[in-house]
């Protein structure tokens, strides 16, 4: 693998740092750049050497306002892949410490989504409703268990849960920005609904 790290200038933008590697007939470039307006961005590109000569080039750009989400997505991707690979060893047996049952193995009437559709919202526990928001757990913890752990940290108070920000929610293993913002969005909608009910009550 060939690697380089250097800085160079182009006419319309500056490459602050670059990394590249070659694998067979493919060359990958990771460029940290600065645009003419002063904003930073990352360009990831790949060049494929064609049999008839020349290169086929493709690339994608991530702007600085997306860096945080890019890193979180990559971290979540590798973490989830690691969980999945660790879940079953080369002999096909469950990895040590993995939960042996998940929501999909539950009776359909007990699964959060199915329970909501079959029994109605009033029959749902707080942890079950939050589990629907966060959608998935991990090989060692169901979404319901993760939701219960978060609720336990705020003494099962929905009000205190509504005070948590993205960074605080992301401190729970299994939570990323997507799951955290889903909870925050639901809490904000609930607050706005409560305000609307108060206003409608006052207007009657």
**154: in domain:** yes
Residue ranges of alpha helices (H) inside the chain are 67-87, 112-119, 126-134, 143-153, 158-163, 166-169, 177-203
pLDDT for res 89: 42
For residue 56, give its domain range: 8-98
CA distance 60 to 55: 17
| The last residue of a domain, from among 70, 98, 126 | 98
Q: Give per-residue pLDDT as tens, 84-142.
A: 554 444 334 444 444 444 555 555 556 788 888 888 888 888 989 999 998 888 777 88
Number of domains, the chain:
2
Are residues 65 and 86 both part of a single domain? yes
CATH label of the domain that carries residue 18: 3.10.450.700
Q: Give per-residue pLDDT as tens, 128-169.
A: 999 999 888 877 788 888 999 999 999 999 999 999 999 999
CA distance 93 to 201: 59
Residues of 113-129 as b/e, b for ≥16 C-beta within 10 angstroms? eebbeeeeeeebeebbe
Higher pLDDT: 113 or 189? It is: 189
| The last residue of a domain, from among 46, 67, 98 | 98
Q: What is the pTM of this model?
A: 0.48
What is the pLDDT confidence band of residue 10, given thresholds at 50, 70 and 90?
very low
CA distance 158 to 126: 8
């Amino acid at each position: 693998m060939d690697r380089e790290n250097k800085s160079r200038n182009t006419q319309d933008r500056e490459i602050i740092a670059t990394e590249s590697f070659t694998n067979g007939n493919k060359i990958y470039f990771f460029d940290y750049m600065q645009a003419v307006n002063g904003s930073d961005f990352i360009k990831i590109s790949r060049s494929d050497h064609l049999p008839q000569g020349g290169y086929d080039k493709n690339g994608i750009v991530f702007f600085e306002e997306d860096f945080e989400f890019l890193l979180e997505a990559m971290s979540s991707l590798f973490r989830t892949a690691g969980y999945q690979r660790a879940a079953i060893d080369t002999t096909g047996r469950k990895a040590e410490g993995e939960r042996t049952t998940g929501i999909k193995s539950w009776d359909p009437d007990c699964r959060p989504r199915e329970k909501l559709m079959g029994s109605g919202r009033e029959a749902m526990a707080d942890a079950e409703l939050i589990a629907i928001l966060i959608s998935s757990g991990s090989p060692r913890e169901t979404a319901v268990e993760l939701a219960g752990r978060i609720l336990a940290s705020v003494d099962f108070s929905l009000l205190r849960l509504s005070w948590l920000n993205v960074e605080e929610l992301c401190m729970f293993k299994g939570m990323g920005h997507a799951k955290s913002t889903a909870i925050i969005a639901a809490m904000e909608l609930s607050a706005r609904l409560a305000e609307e009910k108060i206003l409608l009550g006052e207007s009657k």
